[in-house]
Amino acid sequence: MLRSYLRKLGNFSKVESLRSCIAEYFRTQDTAADYLSFFNREIAHFSREDRQTLLKGQMEVQSFFEQLLQEGVNTGEFKVDEPVLLSHNILMAGHDWVVRSWFLRQHHTLEEYTEEQTEMILRLIL
């Protein structure tokens, strides 16, 4: 999903690519919020194989962001000591929007939340 989205962006800077991919990921999370909430509640009842399938999808997203961050480090655009941890934090910020939307929507729109989260990440790595 995100890899094909990134290909559509073309030759953007890594900063703009990261900004755009975070926004796309958060929009996707918001669109699938009902399904994701269901999975979060019911995962304990899934078979081991189904849990592994779900976790594999999450790991692919984390890996995508890790690779994007590493590419930014390689080009000199980002200063990231722990791309694995930061990519995990991006993943969890998307999950937070779904899991804690009852609270977050009282204070932010999806666009505001996305912008604030993205700016915090960029302040860490630029």
List pLDDT tens digits, range 84-125: 999 999 999 999 999 998 899 999 999 999 999 999 999 999
Which CATH number characterizes residue 31's domain? Answer: 1.10.357
Tally of domains in the chain: 1
The string of DSSP codes covering 8-30 is HH-S--HHHHHHHHHHHHHHHHH
Among 98, 60, 78, which Cα is nearest to 18's? Answer: 78
59: in domain: yes
Residue 6 resides in a domain: no
Nearest of 51, 31, 30 to residue 101 by alpha carbon: 30
Q: Examine residue 78 and state whether it is found in any structural domain, yes or no.
A: yes
Structural domain span for residue 26: 14-125
Q: Has residue 3 been placed in a domain?
A: no
> What's the CA gap between 87 and 57, in Å, rounded?
14
15-52 pLDDT, tens digit per residue, is 999 999 999 999 999 999 888 888 778 888 889 998 89
83 assigned to some structural domain? yes
Residue 44 contacts by C-beta under 8 Å, 6 or more apart in sequence? none
45 in a domain, yes or no?
yes
Buried b (16+ CB within 10 A) or exposed e, 76-85: ebbebeebee
Residue 2 lies in a domain: no
